[in-house]
Every structure is written in structure tokens, then in C-alpha cells.
Structure 1
């Protein structure tokens, strides 16, 4: 797949580029700041952009703001935030157009390249990849606690895994239950969130956004 990397640390930037190249990916550009990221994505149209949050010149939230702009201006490009920090203030805005093609991973929690590569593929394919710690912190600021309070402990586990972009089969494997049991939990979540079947709205995405929205 075609990749653009935005990371101001030279070691991390070049190291990640080399590792991805070894995996067979085409790293189209490596950049150090948000304006260069926007230009590189416009020029190369990658499948996914890997973005650190704190980029020059301010080293605050430039990368996340650029990711939000990319979601708006180039919706076909997957966005994978790869950072040391969880910035809850802008994540709801990042997900405002839907959770498809969005990832948010924490650098210190990546223990193997296979996990990172799997997340990269999911985001590039239009899926979602959210670190459980990101989900936990977003859960803490959710305004939909009235809905969440109605969920059982198992339903919350299922919803958290849905927010990470997991399929029912993957959730079943993670929780060591049957896929049918997961389907039942998902149905209960939809009922408690008052999400009836619809040909227009994607209930799974809406449920996840309600869970994550700040």
C-alpha cells in the first residue's frame, strides 16, 4: 500500500519508513510538519497517512488538526494517528464524519510490527483501529453516559472492541465466546441506544460514535 509519514523525530520517521518498506509497502513521502503533510497527501494520494499529533512549529496539536483537514478534504485517504498522547478534545471532530478509515495508536503500546501492520491495513481498507487506552480515555469524557449506564459489563466490552474496529468474529475470538453471543450483545446495544434498523444509517458506526463522542 502507499503510505505518507508525518513525524518530526528523525529516528522514528526513518525507522518506521524502513520497517514499512521491508514489509512491502510503498512509502511515498516522509515529512516533519503539518503543511508538508497536507502537500504530500495532495501530491501522492496515499492509501493511508501516519501522523504524529505534536508537529512543528508549535508541537501541540498540529498533526491532529491536519488529520481533521485531511478527513474533510481527502476522504479516500486513511488517517492513522500514531502518538504518545491521547488528545480527547479533537478526536470527536476527527470521527465526526464516521469512523471508517481512522486509527489512533499509542507508540509505547505497540509491542510488535504485526499489530501495527494489521492496524495499517484496516485503516487503509476503510476500517477502524483504536488503541484500547484511547477508547478508555474517550469513554471517561463521553456525554452519553445515560446510554452507557444501561449496558451490562459484557456489552461494554463488546462496544469497546467495536470501537477498535473489530468484527463480530474478531470480538468473539477475543472474548472467547460464540459469534452468535456477540451478535446478541450487539443487538442489545442497538436497542439500548435506540438505534432501529435503517437502510440509511449505519447503526454500528453510530453506536461507536456515541460511545466516543466528547
Structure 2
């Protein structure tokens, strides 16, 4: 598995390289800014990109814009975005559209290597990974509209589902059966008016529904 890393903090960039190489990734490039990121992706065509949200020269949304461009030009490349703070609109920008192989994590999550690698593996495999803190803030701030229709247990399931957890992982976390989880998820989709649709990841669409609320 080949990776490209974009992070302007020298220490964090070096740490990411070390962590990825320790578990078998080949880090094709580790760069400082969005321009170098795009050049590295074009040159190496990695399987996954790990990039900061804010990078030189402006330290605003350069990483997000680079990630969106990568998703448009090379949709087969997975992208995991790192952010210092919860920024809902960046998560929404990245997850809107074809949301397979995308993720959004807070940088503090990198400190827990197992959690970080679990999220990276889900994204690299074509799944999604949304930081638990992002999910928590979304659910807290959207205490109206469609959210009112969900039971407390359904909200718990939605939170874990939005993180990218599988039904089996949710069942282990909540100490319930997988069939119970499946029933909760089907109820969530029904209440949020999310029928099956080709090319859409309903787990992520459920969270985006709150962003649009």
C-alpha cells in the first residue's frame, strides 16, 4: 500500500511516516504544502493520501481544496483529512458526492496509533471514517428536525455508524446482536428518508442530512 503524506509540521509529518512504515505502508512522499501534495500524487499515484486541512502558504483550507481536487481527478485514491479542530463544513465538503474512501479525523486521534490506523485502513479499503468528536458535535447541534425522530439508541447507533464502524463493530460496542443493529439502522434510514440508491453511502448521507438541517 503506497501513501503520500502532506503536513507542514515537521514533527507530525515525521511521526506519520514512522507509523505508516511500521505497519507496512510505503510512503512515496511526505510533503509540506498543497502544491507539493498535488505534484506528489500525480507522480506517485498512491493508494491513500493523508493530508492536513490547513497548510502553507495561507494556512486556511489549502489541504481541503487539494483533497477535493484529488477526489475529482483520481477518485480511486483514498483521502484521510486531518484537522486541529472540528470544522463541519470541511467534513461536509469532503464527504459530499462519492464518499467512498474518505475520512476526517482530528489530529489528536493520531496520538492513539490504533485508532488512527483503524480509520486509515477503513478509508484505504474504500470505507469512511469520521472522527467521533465530529459526530458528537453534529448530533449535539442538530437537536431538531430529523433528529427528533430518532430514539436515544438510534442516535447511539448513528454516531458509531457515522464514524465508519461496521455492524459487527457497533454490536460489540453496544453489547447487542448484529440483527438488532441492522434493525436500528434500517429504522434510521426510514426516518431520515434515505432509501437505497446506487452510488450513495447511506451511512454518511445520514450525517450529511444533519449538516444540511
Alpha-carbon distance in 2 for matches of 1:68, 1:145: 30
| 2:26 paired residue number | 26
Does the residue aligned with 1:191 lie in a helix, a strand or coil?
helix
Distance 1:29 1:115, change over 3 A: same
| 2:36 paired residue number | 36
The answer to whether the Cα contact below 8 Å between 1:135 and 1:212 also exists between their aligned partners in 2 is no
Does the residue aligned with 1:149 lie in a helix, a strand or coil?
helix
Give 1:25 shift. Answer: 0.8
Give 1:66 shift. Answer: 1.1
Does the residue aligned with 1:17 lie in a helix, a strand or coil?
helix
Alpha-carbon distance in 1 for matches of 2:39, 2:199: 34
Alpha-carbon distance in 2 for matches of 1:26, 1:184: 40
Consecutive unaligned residues in structure 2, runs of 5 or more: none
How many correspondences in the alignment? 213
Distance 1:198 1:20, change over 3 A: closer
| 1:10 paired residue number | 10
Distance 1:60 1:182, change over 3 A: same
The answer to whether the Cα contact below 8 Å between 1:162 and 1:208 also exists between their aligned partners in 2 is no
Alpha-carbon distance in 1 for matches of 2:181, 2:169: 10
Distance 1:200 1:116, change over 3 A: closer
The answer to whether the Cα contact below 8 Å between 2:98 and 2:199 also exists between their aligned partners in 1 is no
| 1:70 paired residue number | 70
TM-score by length of 2: 0.91
Give 1:199 shift. Answer: 5.9
| 1:124 paired residue number | 124
| 1:102 paired residue number | 102
Deviations 1:83-141 (CA, angstroms, capped at 9, x unpaired): 21222223212111133111111122344322211111110111111111111233456
Does residue 155 (structure 1) correspond to residue 166 (structure 2)? The answer is no
TM-score by length of 1: 0.90
Alpha-carbon distance in 1 for matches of 2:168, 2:40: 36
Regions of 4+ moved over 4 Å: 197-202
Give 1:201 shift. Answer: 5.2
The answer to whether the Cα contact below 8 Å between 2:99 and 2:200 also exists between their aligned partners in 1 is no
- Across the aligned residues of Structure 1 and Structure 2, the Cα RMSD in angstroms comes to 2.0
The answer to whether the Cα contact below 8 Å between 1:79 and 1:102 also exists between their aligned partners in 2 is yes
Alpha-carbon distance in 1 for matches of 2:41, 2:144: 37
Distance 1:8 1:203, change over 3 A: closer
Deviations 1:29-56 (CA, angstroms, capped at 9, x unpaired): 0110001111111111111100011100
